[in-house]
Structure 1
Amino acid sequence: MKNNLQNSRDISIDLLRTIGIVFIFLAHVDAPFVIKQVIKFNVILLVVISGYVYREVKDYKKYIYKRIERLALPTWLFLTFFFLGLFLVEKILKIKVGGLNIDTIISSYTFWWGIGFVWIIRIYLGVAILGPIFLKRKLSFNYLILFYFILEFFIAIILKKYNNENFDRIIEILPYTLIFCYGNLLKKGLIPIKKVTFVLGIFILVFIMQKYNIDMGEFKYPPRLIYIWWGLFVFNILFLLKDKLIELINKKIILKKIIQYIGESTMWFYLIHIGIYYILFFIKKSILIDWRIEYLVLILLSFIILVIKDMLIKKIEKLLKNRNIVLEMLKG
């Protein structure tokens, strides 16, 4: 998601963010199982990017406040409109949509789970809190590896002894924090990325050979083993190819502008897609929609509404001629 700490735009970062977000959209449609396995790198890619663009801050409290302002406030605003919309659909259109119980609403506003899409905000806030603390210790690549294997061992023991979703959601912040740190160490040139990619490839190959018919989703909550390896492996490949990809994109001016726009606005692009997803979900109850059409509509409608939203904000700002906290939350 958009990071307030990076002053200058980097088209390669916008490209990676765009890849991550559009593949998250793909994960939310009824795509074939194999495709859903391949795209399991999406969340890890975005968390690595958040670590990559992070720069050491002097005022930790101010930094946390800015992350809450950038992540939590827009999501709470969206959820308010979202639940109000569900309420109106049930009352006016007399369509039972569900999700209007107190447990779902509270769980959504706390980013615990709720409607299911906003858990990623909890991850971003968690790594925003813990990531800088880890990096303050002058974390090296060797220590990162050591912490990772200790964490894998710890999670294996915990999962064997306790089978509790709430506990899983607490400890999942830890592996994502290490993934955040991986991105930051990469930015500092402390990750031997080609060697790491080769080793991850070996790990993945051996794991698949042992467990041929696997579902990486089983290793996502909390993230561990093949889910982390695959996510970092694909990110590394994309990172190594980014300069060549940028050369191609620079020849397509419109495509470049779209990628930059999405890269600057991933937060609201993601939030808007939740609403479009639910609309398509209810339509699919009456009409059979091919997953490819569903995916295309999900991206296009989300993008169109994003553009309309930004155009309206600019016009309102000109009329008000002063800073408005609601308009700030509605920005990308």
Structure 2
Amino acid sequence: MREHYHNSSLNGIILTVLPRELPFFFISAYLIFLLLVKPYPFSYSRIIETFLLLKGIGYVWIIRVFILVAIFANPLLNLYKLCKSENRFLALLFFIYLGYERLFIEIKHLNLPSTIITQLIDNYLFYLIPYGCLFGLGIVLPKLRFKNILFISGIFLGIFLLLATFYYRSLGHFISIQDFKYPARIYFVSYGIFMSLFAFSGVDLICCKYNLSNNNHVLLRGIVFVSSSSLWIYLWHIFFVYYWQTLVVYLPKFASHFMIAFSVITLGAIAVTYLQKEIISRIITKTRCGQNHSNLLSMLLK
């Protein structure tokens, strides 16, 4: 499975996809709420915040993270080359992350007034460092031995369980990792790393055990499609989340169940992304206009 991991140009993908998805979302929302004879739910300020990748509609923050990581991808790669080994690079990332945690605690204790500087720190620096470290882990992940991946996974599982136990004993109830997501803190990050490495190792083992390295195998093709199309799937899921929440009141009561909503939104986003890519592929291969502008169409919509 590891041979399917490859570097991609995040800058080009993000900066071209996002501006085209959001106008479609807001225009379609206007038409749908007009048909439902309901007030338009998005104010001008909320729309502007969305395009600025701030709070807005509440889902675009991760795109800001992608852009920040993409901007600093080359310095991270150069840092990795300077370390000359995976272990040194991982150790450096670990200490950088510890520094971030300490800086976060110190700044929050200072309770500084809201200024441009504090906004930059809160919305950019405190997102760049933890997710940049995760990106660094992703750089070396395909090169690590299986036992090393299990070792790292076990360390972060231990960290997560220790923190979960500490918070439970301190507060008397279980604390959701969502409370440590904006920005990412060690409780959230440790769980995320453990689950990601667990999934990575699991897929790797399944591919080796059942000889799924053939690109034509339907399971492998599905995994590769979802992983390589994750940005578009995420963007389309915003569309489905909002309209499901709007339309679910007109559906039978069982439709409000979490698993029903999750299945509809997930499968809907994947299906629309698949249709989008298939249509663009056919336009590129079967039309002269598509062939003449294949690079542009691929960059914008595939």
Task: Tell me the TM-score normalised to structure 1 length.
Answer: 0.73
Q: Distance in 1 between matches of 2:218 and 2:31?
A: 38
Contact kept? 1:53, 1:184, Cα under 8 Å: no
Higher helix share: 2
> Which ranges in structure 1 are unaligned for 5 or more consecutive residues?
1-10, 15-51, 56-65
Q: How does 1:1-332 map to 2 (within 5 A)?
A: 11=1, 53-54=6-7, 66-99=9-42, 101-137=43-79, 138-139=82-83, 140-162=89-111, 166=119, 167-170=121-124, 171-189=126-144, 192-212=148-168, 213-246=174-207, 247-248=209-210, 250=212, 253-287=217-251, 288=253, 289=255, 290-317=257-284, 318-319=286-287, 320=289, 321-323=291-293, 327-332=297-302
> What secondary structure, in the 3-state scheme, does the structure 1 residue paired with 2:152 have?
helix
Q: Which amino acid aligns with 2:105?
A: A
Contact kept? 2:34, 2:40, Cα under 8 Å: no
> What secondary structure, in the 3-state scheme, does the structure 1 residue paired with 2:249 have?
coil
1:55-91 deviation digits (Å, cap 9, x = unpaired): 8xxxxxxxxxx53321121111010111111222344
Contact kept? 2:53, 2:64, Cα under 8 Å: yes
Q: Identify if the C-alpha distance between structure 1 residues 254 and 205 changes in structure 2 by more than 3 Å, giving closer, same or farther.
A: same
Q: Distance in 2 between matches of 1:202 and 1:93?
A: 50
Aligned residues: 274
> What secondary structure, in the 3-state scheme, does the structure 2 residue paired with 1:211 have?
helix
> What secondary structure, in the 3-state scheme, does the structure 2 residue paired with 1:98 have?
coil
1:224-277 deviation digits (Å, cap 9, x = unpaired): 121111111222222333322224583994333322322332222222221111
Task: Tell me the TM-score normalised to structure 2 length.
Answer: 0.79
**Offset, 1:307:** 2.7
Q: Identify if the C-alpha distance between structure 1 residues 324 and 107 changes in structure 2 by more than 3 Å, giving closer, same or farther.
A: farther
**Offset, 1:193:** 2.9
Q: Distance in 1 between matches of 2:219 and 2:142?
A: 26
Q: Identify if the C-alpha distance between structure 1 residues 158 and 184 changes in structure 2 by more than 3 Å, giving closer, same or farther.
A: same
> Which ranges in structure 2 are unaligned for 5 or more consecutive residues?
84-88, 169-173
Q: Which amino acid aligns with 1:70?
A: I
CA RMSD in angstroms comes to: 2.9
Q: Distance in 1 between matches of 2:52 and 2:3?
A: 29
Contact kept? 2:164, 2:175, Cα under 8 Å: yes
Q: Which has the higher contact order (CA 8 A, sep 6+)?
A: 1
Identity %: 23
Q: Distance in 2 between matches of 1:87 and 1:329?
A: 28
Q: Distance in 1 between matches of 2:141 and 2:281?
A: 37
Q: Distance in 2 between matches of 1:261 and 1:186?
A: 20
Compare 177-186 and 189-198 and name the one that shifted more: 189-198
Q: Distance in 2 between matches of 1:270 and 1:110?
A: 18
Contact kept? 2:2, 2:142, Cα under 8 Å: no
